[in-house]
Structure 1
Amino acid sequence: MDQIQKKEKKFNRWINGVSILVPIVVAIMFGVKIPNVEPLYFLPPIYASINGLTAVILILAVWAIKNGRQELHQRLMTTCIALSLVFLVLYIAYHMTSDSTSFGGEGVIKYIYYFILITHIILSIGIIPLVLKTYARAYLKKYDEHRALAKLTFPVWLYVAITGVVVYLLISPYYAYP
């Protein structure tokens, strides 16, 4: 087994662990409320904006690679991963200090909201290994495999980023601010 295969095997173990651990930790954190802490009501528009910015940067990253700007593409994709981590921390912080908000819409909009929310949640879990494996393949200079996986990763990640904004816009009228 050569060095690249060893590195890839190590990355895959790490990626699989992170991909399982993150959703479990997030689910556990949803059940934890920090007592005697002011609810962080200001966070939802911030993390929704991070989702929107991630969507824009993902599109710019595709433009960069299609125009031969590999270094810019790499920096933009690294930025998207960093933004996703910041989003996750803020999202968890909000839910550990605030009660969940129920969607108050009725009729067809309620079904649209829940469809978008459920697909967003499911795909946000699935995007974790896709992003990490796509990034690892680029890091290992396995560009053909990177490109092939990126063709799946990009639209899923873009959907998650955009629907994160849409979910916020749909539920924001129902937030209970002090």
Structure 2
Amino acid sequence: MKKVLLPILTLFTFLFVINREANAQTPYRTALGLGIDLGDGQTLFGPQIKHSFGRNDAVNAQVLFGDNITVVGVDYSYNERIRGTRGLSWYVGVGPQASFIDYGKWHGDWDDDYHWKDGNTHTHFAIRPALGLEFRIPSAPLAMHFDWKPWWNLSHGSNFEASRFSLGFKFVLK
């Protein structure tokens, strides 16, 4: 995993340094779409909205769903266009997240002997940094992103999951 992350981090650091003078205005103001959170563990899907304000600043909010889990998160990101491209930008951000996990009303072992378990729900709080690329199709109101978005759980046995990623497809409203 470290062999994969080091080149990615190096690439993003390089892009950050060479593009400081780039035109930083975000390619759209507001977009709605589908967010997909994947990596180690289960894949989560759900709606998201991204709203840009100022020259480089944006907020992305999402509600993601999976098997017995609902995740609500809001991220701030610094966005900058990549000079010499049409519609391609990079971003770096961070935000809080709350996960509502129902460990299962059904609990069983390998012999399918299931037992009713009630009240086994936990709320987890996390911080999610993000480093990614976003592409707005210049001739259409569509945008997509891909980022590295590790999961740093701060509650119920704090842990850091580095191998999480986010993929999103958005319809640009304005």
Per the normalisation by structure 1, the TM-score is 0.26
Larger helix share, 1 or 2: 1
Per the normalisation by structure 2, the TM-score is 0.27
Larger strand share, 1 or 2: 2
